[in-house]
């Protein structure tokens, strides 16, 4: 009958069962708190993940390019003072295979791909569209941006005189797989290529502008002669991209931009969203802690006679302390179960509404909410538990 | 002589094995010499116990009487190891316990003493049998033998069929009988009863007293009963009267 759980745990359970209304109230309080934690963190995380996934669907984590050419005018009275940047010329990365190795060797980098990227025009019949011509090695480029999974028609392995275009460009120029289009870079450089595939990278602008051609063909078009203009890289931890980019700059002397700096506004939005959600969660936790704590303080007063009796029976002060710590832990733990159920229920309701993103419920977030609730319950119980342990048994019995 | 009032560490001098019931029957359960207790300090200092000399033998069945405010309750708290004396000697089973800290007193209390209170003071959340076994349960997990012992004690007080009842489902007299069984559970050397019949009707009162007498004989356990009831005192073999913090009269063994 009484063997099994530890004595303080058993008394804690009995005390909670005895004060049924009170226990139900703090349980609901803790549950609502956990529900907010689960709901908010899942919602915000899902929203942010979807925004990031969308952004990174057509963007490399890190883009490495040569430094901007600095034209240094001759400092002289007679010199012409107007300085213009050379137009329409791609600056190659010097000794790029060596640089590529250096980028590959940077900690945190999981994939790299050499790219030639420049602007041009795509022509078909009388239609003409400004495009970004990107010369890629399909196999390595697929490691940077998921091409394989985003093809609407045709193949992703562009080769020979082939090219891949986005759905928007295909629509505007009336292109289908097998059709030909002319790519014009400048007066001297142009080529005709055959559409091998049509992709949808999830961003309208990219679908309209990108023309993917084999690296070699782009090198010819931009007169790079075996050179490349940028290296694109993928990192394992997307939020470490800026740090990794800085590392790459230090190693290669080239400019490395992370997706975070390229999307500074998005990052600010995500961060403020994240911190306001953290703030709300923090205050919810504080409110829950105060709620549990105050109810337990009252319960210590109510139970002081029982505490005195237990002390007279030979229960130690530390056993009494544990009785109340257990109560905090039990409330925290059962509150987290209840709260998880409520939070998931709420998310379920949200899922029924039309949303632009899918709501995920990662176990890690739920476990986090439960751990927070448990710790909150324990911390909230510390003060009441100490009070209970300090009760003078002689006085408590007579209360 | 004062030990730091640590609450968690148990004093090494107290605990060496199970309940301490020395074979030497001559050693008193309690021995008090020049024991005093002060409350307050400075201007408001009040000496409630003014030098108590008292011995409670292994086979005593004693009443402690005295007017309200005489220091009865204070003495009972000190005997019950619920409170510490200000000065003087307090020996329990021949061991000087005057300077014991809270943890050491708790251990000694659990091993040596049983309590019966005026208002039974059962734990309402636990059944009759669980209440009876509580003094054992606070110290260690229960064994089958413990549970059998608890049932035996409940049967002894005539409540064999009520073991699953919560205190709230029992009458006042029944509750006090559960409390008597509980006091006996740890096989204490001494049971301290604080007005055990004070809150009972005549019949229940007589029944409770009879049970205490029976327990005294059957389980070889000393009793000290604080009472206002002259009829109860008259039936005790020894009467100790305390007035104004001093022992005024002690009939000794009768």
Q: What is the pLDDT of residue B25?
A: 66
The average confidence (pLDDT) of chain B is: 81
Pick among A314, A327, A389 to test the B interface (most B CBs inside 10 A):
A314
CB contact under 8 A, B77 and A394: yes
- Let me know if B165 is exposed, middle or buried by CB neighbors in 10 A (0-12, 13-18, 19+): middle
- Which pLDDT does position A75 carry in this prediction? 62
Test A313 with B115 for CB contact under 8 angstroms.
yes
Chain A contact for B103, CB < 8 A? yes
DSSP type of residue B228: S
Task: Check whether B11 has a pLDDT greater than 80.
Answer: no
pLDDT at B143: 86
Q: How many CB atoms lie within 10 A of CB A332?
A: 30
Of A3, A392, A397, the CB nearest to B141: A3
pTM of the model: 0.72
Confidence of residue A235 (pLDDT cuts 50, 70, 90): very high
A277-286 in b/e burial notation, b at 16+ Cβ within 10 A?
beeebeebbe
Residue B2 — pLDDT band, cuts 50, 70, 90?
A: very low
- The whole-number average pLDDT for the span A85-93 is 71
Q: What percent of chain B clears pLDDT 70, i.e. is strictly above it?
A: 89
Q: Report which of residues B164 and A399 the model is more confident about.
A: B164
pLDDT digits (tens, 9 = 90+) for A107-125: 999 999 999 999 999 998 8
- The mean pLDDT of A201-218, rounded to a whole number, is 91
Per CB-CB distance under 8 Å, the chain A contacts of B117 are 309, 397
Relative to beta strand A210-214, strand B46-56 is unpaired
Cα B86 from Cα B109, distance rounded (Å): 19
Whole-angstrom Cα distance, residue A213 to residue A191? 11
Given this model, what pLDDT does residue A225 score? 85
| ipTM score | 0.80
B141 and chain A in contact, CB less than 8 A: yes
Q: Are B199 and B118 in contact (CB under 8 A)?
A: yes
The rounded percent of chain A whose pLDDT value lies above 90 is 26
B102·A317 Cβ contact <8 A: yes
What confidence tier does A295 reach under pLDDT thresholds 50, 70, 90? confident
Are residues A195 and A178 in contact, defined by beta-carbon separation less than 8 angstroms? yes
Q: Which of residues 308-347 of A touch B (CB under 8 A)?
A: 308-319
Q: Judge: B106–A397 Cβ closer than 8 Å, yes or no.
A: no
> Among A77-91, A233-247, B33-47, B91-105, where is mean pLDDT lowest?
A77-91
H or E element: which one contains A100? Answer: helix A96-104
pLDDT at B7: 39
Which pLDDT does position B244 carry in this prediction?
A: 85
The bridge status of strand A151-154 relative to strand A190-199 is antiparallel
The vertex-A142 CA angle with A136 and A144, nearest 5°, equals 90
In chain B, % of residues over pLDDT 90: 4
Q: Is B23's pLDDT higher than 60?
A: no
Q: How far is B46 from chain A (nearest CA, A)?
A: 17
Chain A contact present for B147, CB below 8 A: yes
Residue A70 confidence (pLDDT):
67
The CA distance from B239 to the nearest CA of chain A, in Å, is: 24
Q: Does B102 touch chain A (CB under 8 A)?
A: yes
Q: Specify the DSSP class assigned to residue A70.
A: P
Which tens digits make up the pLDDT trace of A53-66?
A: 888 888 899 999 99
CA distance to A154, B26, B156, B218, per residue, from B214 (Å): 100, 22, 9, 6
Query: Does the pLDDT at position B19 exceed 50?
Result: no
Local structure of residue A258 (DSSP, 8 states) = E
Q: Which range, of B5-14, B89-98, B238-247, averages the lowest pLDDT?
A: B5-14
DSSP three-state, residue B81: coil
Q: What is the pLDDT of residues A134-183, one digit of tens each?
A: 999 988 898 888 888 889 988 888 888 899 999 999 999 999 999 999 99
- Res A82 pLDDT > 70: no
Predicted local distance difference test score (pLDDT) of residue A245:
92
Q: Which of A1, A15, A310 sits opposite B138 (nearest CB)?
A: A310
Q: What is the pLDDT of residues B82-132, one digit of tens each?
A: 888 888 888 888 888 888 888 888 888 888 888 888 777 888 889 989 999
Cα dihedral sign, B87-B93-B95-B101: negative
User: CA A113, CA A215: separation in Å to the nearest integer?
Assistant: 10
Please check the confidence at residue B10 and state whether its pLDDT lies above 50: no
pLDDT at A196: 93
Which pair of structure tokens corresponds to residue B105? 């007193």
Q: DSSP string spanning A164-228?
A: EEEHHHHHHHT--TT-EEEEESSSS-EEEEEEEEEE--S-HHHHHHEEEEEHHHHHHHTT-TT--
């Amino acid at each position: 009958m009484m063997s099994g759980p530890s004595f303080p745990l058993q008394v804690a359970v009995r005390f909670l069962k005895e004060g049924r209304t009170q226990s139900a109230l703090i349980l609901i309080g803790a549950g609502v708190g956990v529900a907010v934690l689960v709901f908010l963190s899942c919602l915000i995380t899902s929203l942010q993940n979807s925004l990031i996934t969308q952004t990174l669907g057509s963007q490399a984590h890190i883009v490495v390019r040569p430094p901007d050419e600095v034209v240094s005018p001759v400092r002289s009275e007679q010199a012409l003072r107007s300085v213009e940047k050379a137009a329409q010329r791609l600056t190659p990365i010097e000794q790029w295979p060596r640089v590529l190795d250096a980028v590959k060797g940077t900690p945190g980098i999981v994939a790299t791909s050499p790219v030639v990227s420049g602007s041009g025009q795509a022509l078909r019949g009388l239609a003409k569209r400004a495009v970004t011509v990107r010369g890629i090695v399909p196999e390595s480029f697929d490691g940077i941006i998921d091409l394989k999974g985003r093809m609407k028609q045709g193949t992703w392995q562009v080769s020979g005189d082939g090219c891949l275009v986005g759905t928007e460009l295909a629509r505007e120029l009336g292109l289908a797989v097998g059709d030909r289009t002319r790519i014009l870079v400048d007066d001297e450089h142009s080529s005709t290529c055959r559409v091998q595939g049509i992709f949808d990278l999830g961003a309208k602008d990219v679908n309209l502008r990108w023309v993917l051609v084999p690296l070699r063909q782009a090198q010819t078009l931009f007169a790079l002669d075996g050179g490349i203009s940028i290296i694109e890289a993928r990192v394992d931890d997307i939020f470490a991209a800026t740090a990794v980019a800085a590392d790459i700059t230090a190693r290669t002397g080239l400019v490395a931009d992370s997706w975070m700096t390229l999307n500074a506004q998005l990052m600010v939005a995500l961060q403020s969203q994240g911190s306001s959600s953290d703030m709300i969660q923090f205050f919810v936790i504080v409110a829950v802690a105060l709620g549990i704590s105050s109810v337990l303080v009252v319960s210590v007063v109510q139970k002081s006679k029982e505490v005195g009796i237990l002390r007279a029976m030979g229960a130690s002060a530390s056993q009494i302390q544990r009785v109340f710590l257990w109560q905090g832990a039990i409330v925290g733990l059962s509150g987290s179960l209840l709260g998880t159920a409520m939070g998931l229920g709420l998310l379920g309701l949200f899922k029924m509404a039309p949303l632009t993103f899918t709501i995920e419920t990662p176990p890690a977030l739920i476990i986090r909410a439960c751990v927070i609730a448990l710790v909150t319950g324990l911390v909230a119980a510390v003060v009441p538990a100490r009070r209970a342990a300090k009760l003078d048994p002689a006085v408590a019995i007579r209360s | 002589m004062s030990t730091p009032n640590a609450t968690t560490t148990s004093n090494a001098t107290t605990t060496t094995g199970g309940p301490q019931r020395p074979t030497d029957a001559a050693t008193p359960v309690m021995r008090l010499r020049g024991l005093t207790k002060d409350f307050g300090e400075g201007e408001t200092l009040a000496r409630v116990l003014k030098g108590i000399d008292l011995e409670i033998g292994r086979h005593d069945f004693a009443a402690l009487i005295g007017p309200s405010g005489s220091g009865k309750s204070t003495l009972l708290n000190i005997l019950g190891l619920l409170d510490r004396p200000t000065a003087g000697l307090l020996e329990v089973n021949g061991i000087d316990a005057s300077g014991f800290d809270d943890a050491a007193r708790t251990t000694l209390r659990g091993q040596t003493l049983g309590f019966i209170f005026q208002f039974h003071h059962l734990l309402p959340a636990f059944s009759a049998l669980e209440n009876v076994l509580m003094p054992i349960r606070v110290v260690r997990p229960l064994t089958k033998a413990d549970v059998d012992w608890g049932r035996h004690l409940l049967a002894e007080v005539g409540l064999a069929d009520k073991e699953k009842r919560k205190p709230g489902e029992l009458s006042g007299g029944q509750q006090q009988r559960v409390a008597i069984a509980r006091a006996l559970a740890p096989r204490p050397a001494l049971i301290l009863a604080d007005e055990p019949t004070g809150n009972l009707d005549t019949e229940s009162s007589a029944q409770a007293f009879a049970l205490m007498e029976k327990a005294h004989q059957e389980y070889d356990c000393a009793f000290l009963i604080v009472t206002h009831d002259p009829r109860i005192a008259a039936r005790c073999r020894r009467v100790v009267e305390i007035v104004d913090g001093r022992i005024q009269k002690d009939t000794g063994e009768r």
